[in-house]
Amino acid sequence: MLKGKVAVVTGGTRGIGYAIVKKYLENGAKVVLFGSRDETVNKALAALKEENPDWEVSGYAPNLLDPKALEETIAKIKEQYGRIDILVNNAGISDSTKIDDYTAEQFAKVMDLNVKAIFNAILPTVKIMKEQGGGCIINTSSMVSISGQPSGVAYPTSKTAVNGLTWSLARELGPSNIRVNAVAPGITKTDMVAALPEQMIAPLIKMIPLRRIGEPEDVANAFLYLASDLASYVTGEILSVDGAMRS
């Protein structure tokens, strides 16, 4: 479904991001994954190469909050592959701090990593996509951008901002043949969720109409669809992948 396309995936070393990278490789894309540290990037690359030595995958660990560093890294990717067809902005952090325990610095950290980092990656990539005649940007939102959450106000605030960015850029970049969408996952079996005790997991499952927690591959499938030509007329959408658990 993605044969010949070049994709960049931030936060691609584990969890949902790693599942997206793998799904794109399985579907013929050349993928550049970003991680927070060289060690995690190298570990992810080694695991992918062990699974399939023929996959064309590489990685970097740029500081997503440094616009200059990101611009230089994106330029390297363009020089290496000649183009960038897909940008997946998946890197970010969650938060569940109660309001009485918040600091302004902590709120700013969540907003920086979940919103500013996306914008920093988009700026240089859009220039390349305009030059080549089009492309596709997919952002990771969250179920809580629709429903909120009981504590950790910075996280749903940041993801609601991601939705606004997605809707607005879809309208602005549409004439340049650049599609912009987002995926809003619900509770997904990442390492953090898998480590929770059964007594915490069981009540969560009861709240999900499909009566199961999502797998990273469930979410990756949505990213595959939105990146593919099957979604060539889909832009400005926030695609929920949450088993209908939205409130």
Q: What is the DSSP string of 101-167?
A: G--HHHHHHHHIIIIIHHHHHHHHHHHHHHHHT-EEEEEE--THHHH--SS-THHHHHHHHHHHHHH
Q: What is the pLDDT of residues 20-69, one digit of tens each?
A: 999 999 999 999 999 999 999 999 999 999 999 999 999 999 999 999 99
The C-alpha atoms of residue 17 and residue 217 are separated, in whole angstroms, by 10
pTM: 0.95
Does residue 195 carry a pLDDT above 70? no
Quick one: pLDDT at residue 190?
Answer: 82
**Nearest residue to 78 via CA among 132, 25, 24:** 132
Quick one: pLDDT at residue 192?
Answer: 64
Q: What is the pLDDT of residues 87-124, one digit of tens each?
A: 999 999 988 899 999 999 999 999 999 999 999 999 99
Q: What is the pLDDT of residues 202-247, one digit of tens each?
A: 888 888 999 999 899 999 999 999 999 999 999 999 999 999 886 5
Quick one: pLDDT at residue 132?
Answer: 98
Quick one: pLDDT at residue 203?
Answer: 86
Catalytically active residues, by annotation: 155
Binned at pLDDT 50, 70 and 90, residue 200 comes out as: confident
Q: Which residues contact 56 (CB under 8 A, 6 or more apart)?
A: 25, 30, 31
Structure tokens belonging to residue 123: 């700026």
Quick one: pLDDT at residue 109?
Answer: 97
- Phi and psi (nearest 5°) for 30? -95, 130
Q: What is the mean pLDDT of residues 140-167?
A: 94
